[in-house]
Amino acid sequence: MKGVETNHVSSDHVLGAFEACSHLIRLGHRRIGFISTPAEGTTSIADRISGYEKALYEHDILIDRHLRLVSLDSRKVNSVFRIGESDAESREIIRQFLAQTADLTAVIAVNSAVGLTVMDAAEEMGLSVPGDLSVIFLDDYELSGFSKIPPTCVSQEEYFVGREAVKLLVSIMEHPQQRRRMMVPPRLIVRQSTSSPAIKKS
């Protein structure tokens, strides 16, 4: 919680999004979208947007707010893990966004639920991943490497975050007055959902 001075262990969300966007830029992408649930009240999403913008800025790429979709309903989009199928309404919203931003060559999805929904929406539109659209997740999920298209992702290193949080809790029990904030570097995992942008025929 920003503005609250407290002990804290979390993944470095700014760095994770920066690395994801930089990976796409190194592949040759310049029109990179960002798809998310709303950032209001969720510092991790706000930080991921900041990292995305920072990468664009540092590579001299225009920050275009029209390339963002940040209105997906988190409860609906997260149902993909509960029922094994992405939400139809969320897919429709993403299809409309992709149709309106047809020059996009890559998309950063704020988490794995959004990423899976993006890939389903792209498939419904006849877009191949990564041939027509590269997709990178700012999160990983169990057995993701065995997916039909194993996604390139940024692992938040949850195991390490949890281990360090418990160690910090034990330390606080012994020394209650201490204040420590720890940011864990995430890890970029390159799989099959990203590639260089296709050369469009005129």
Q: What is the pLDDT of residue 202?
A: 42
* Residue 1 lies inside a defined structural domain of this protein: no
Q: How confident is the model at residue 183, as a pLDDT?
A: 83
Alpha-carbon distance of 3 to 151, in angstroms, equals: 35
Examine residue 60 and state whether it is found in any structural domain, yes or no: yes
Domain of residue 52 covers: 11-157
Q: Which CATH number belongs to the domain containing residue 118 in this structure?
A: 3.40.50.2300
Convert the pLDDT of each residue in 120-133 to its tens digit: 999 999 999 999 99
> Please, are residues 179 and 5 in contact by the beta-carbon 8 Å criterion?
yes
CB 14 within 8 A of CB 48: yes
Contact 34, 97 (CB under 8 A): no
**Considering the domain boundaries, does residue 162 fall inside one?**
no
pTM of the entire predicted model: 0.88
Distances (CA, A) of 104 to 78, 133, 156: 24, 7, 26
- Segments in the chain below pLDDT 70: 1-3, 200-202
Is residue 187 included in any domain, yes or no? no
Total domain count for the chain? 1
Asked if the structure places residue 71 within a domain, the reply is yes
Domain annotation covers residue 193: no
Exposed, middle or buried by CB within 10 Å (0-12, 13-18, 19+), for 152? buried
Contacts of residue 93, Cβ cutoff 8 Å, sequence gap at least 6: 69, 71, 72
